[in-house]
Amino acid sequence: MSVLIKNARILDPAAGTDAVGCLGLRKGHIDYRGIRAPKAAYDEVIEAKGLWLMPGIIDLCARMREPGHTQKATMRSEARAALAAGITAVCLPPDTRPVIDNTAVVNRVNRIAKAAAGTYVYMLGALTKGLEGQALSEMSALKQAGCVGVGNGLAPVANTLIARRALEYASSLGITVHVVPLDPSLANGGCAHEGAVATRLGLTSIPVSAETVAMRQWISLVEDTGARIHFGRLSSARGVELLQSAQRRGLPVTADVAAHQLFLTDADLEGFNAMAHVIPPLRQAQDRDALRAALKSGVIGAICSDHQPHEADAKINPFPLTEPGISALETLLPLSLRLVQDGVLTPLQAVARLSLAPARVLGIERGSLAAGVAADLVLVDPSAAWKLNPADLLSRGRNTPFAGADFKGRALRTWLGA
């Protein structure tokens, strides 16, 4: 089916375009882009005055819970929720069950994703076998099977020698290593930021140094090996400073931030609010503000959801025993639009952080609205006012700290290209 979208505000970060125009889709590709409507006929014509047209969102971290945790969600439920939220591609971390550390699991996940018939699914392979931090995985085979990077999730690597060998191996293959910087000894099983709130509530804390010590170690190894590293889910102002310093020295280091870290702080844990239990933890207002500033400047290049849907029972125990994570696919775009409304990002910057920058991190040919490319795109109503009711989420996970929040802007329609 062919579609012509007329008079939309076209936001294409790949071309630096922010202008009203028309876009034609045919056979899964963009076949026309211009100021005026083409003479060619289309099966459907959409008048999009006042609406935004942007490349599909690429989410750098989303746990779809399959295989291994289908009591929480399924690939089918989450892929369809993602598509409805304007997300055309997601990247799975390797901590499925079984772990994505061999080609058989990669092929299994691909089959599940294909049957789900929703958003495109990419994968990170395991950096070490079984994510046990001891022996390196067969990264070459994982790359050939289609993995777009490797990582160890939140699981620690046994020692710096293994970490260095992993970076050397990844560098020789041209693979990006994805790191969630969290030193396990300093984190010490904690569940909240080290500060006044954790002290008052009696919660075991995670200091900022758990993030920065890990970052310093990995950055030092990048200096030795030249390997590409992507730091996922930064949470602190000091982490931003280390990232910026590494980039100024020309090191191949990039980073993303989870959308909730740009709005929530450890104050949202008051009352033992388990919906705000996340790892890395929510930190202080100055950390949130530093993350926003780094996102604006481009030091942090991408926003992700860090989607972790849970069943209701996972959030009803005493706070330290609840499972961390937010069901976040359906708030990724609305929260990013709120950054525009708050003056943190321009519309084009927001779209770049959601589409083009993640595509470049993963090394995939997406994030553009150029004529001839696959028609992965989203039509957005930036003025649509709505209130988040967890019962209305398409995701099976209803665990969100934004329940009852008022939002302005949402995806109206999403297209997947060829």
Per-residue pLDDT tens for 330-389? 999 999 999 999 999 999 999 999 999 999 999 999 999 999 999 999 999 999 999 999
Q: Is pLDDT above 80 for 418?
A: no
Q: What pLDDT sits at residue 139?
A: 98
120-126 and 3-12 strand pairing: unpaired
Select which of 31, 59, 95, 306 is catalytic: 306
The yes-or-no answer on residue 12 being catalytic is no
| β-bridge mates for residue 9, sequence order | 20, 52
> Does 9 reside within a domain?
no
Residue 266 burial (CB < 10 Å; 0-12/13-18/19+)? buried
Could you tell me if 147 and 106 are in contact, meaning their C-beta atoms sit under 8 angstroms apart? yes
Cα–Cα distances in angstroms (integers) from residue 32 to residues 1, 16, 26, 202, in the given order: 15, 18, 9, 60
- CATH number for the domain spanning 141: value is 3.20.20.140
Q: What pLDDT sits at residue 199?
A: 97
> Does 414 reside within a domain?
no
| Burial track 171-209 (b if 16+ CB lie within 10 A, e otherwise) | beeebbbbbbbbbeebbeebbbbbbebbeebebebbbbe
Name the percent of the chain lying above pLDDT 90: 99
- Can you give the residue range of the structural domain that contains 194? 55-367+389-403
> Does 10 reside within a domain?
no
pLDDT digits (tens, 9 = 90+) for 172-187: 999 999 999 999 999 9
> Does 126 reside within a domain?
yes
> Does 381 reside within a domain?
no
Could you tell me if 386 and 338 are in contact, meaning their C-beta atoms sit under 8 angstroms apart? no
> Does 415 reside within a domain?
no
> Does 64 reside within a domain?
yes
Q: At 327, which amino acid appears?
A: S
pLDDT digits (tens, 9 = 90+) for 97-111: 999 999 999 999 999
> Does 267 reside within a domain?
yes
Domains in the chain, number: 1
Q: What is the mean pLDDT of the chain?
A: 97
Nearest to 191 by CA among 32, 371, 323, 39: 323
pLDDT digits (tens, 9 = 90+) for 227-258: 999 999 999 999 999 999 999 999 999 999 99
Residues in the chain: 418
